[in-house]
Amino acid sequence: MEESPPPPPPLLERMKKGLVGFGASLGEGFGYAKAAVVGFTKKLTAKSEEDATAADLQTAKMQVAAADHAEDIKRKA
């Protein structure tokens, strides 16, 4: 005899999870935008190729941090 699947979660729980995920995605987008602006500004003010490379590296690190933070929030929801 097969067991029936568990009942779906209540509507408010599903809405809350969806809104938390949406908020995390918005935060991730703002984090990417911030990283792009910071990186672009640092590249413009770079005095050497090393400074420009460091700006690119910092931009990439900030983008990864934003994505990781959003994933953590979504996972906890």
Band the pLDDT of 13: cuts 50, 70, 90.
confident
Count CB atoms within 10 A of the CB of residue 55.
19
What is the C-alpha to C-alpha distance for residues 27 and 40, in angstroms, rounded to an integer?
20
What is the C-alpha to C-alpha distance for residues 6 and 68, in angstroms, rounded to an integer?
31
Q: What is the pLDDT of residue 1?
A: 57
pTM of the model: 0.75
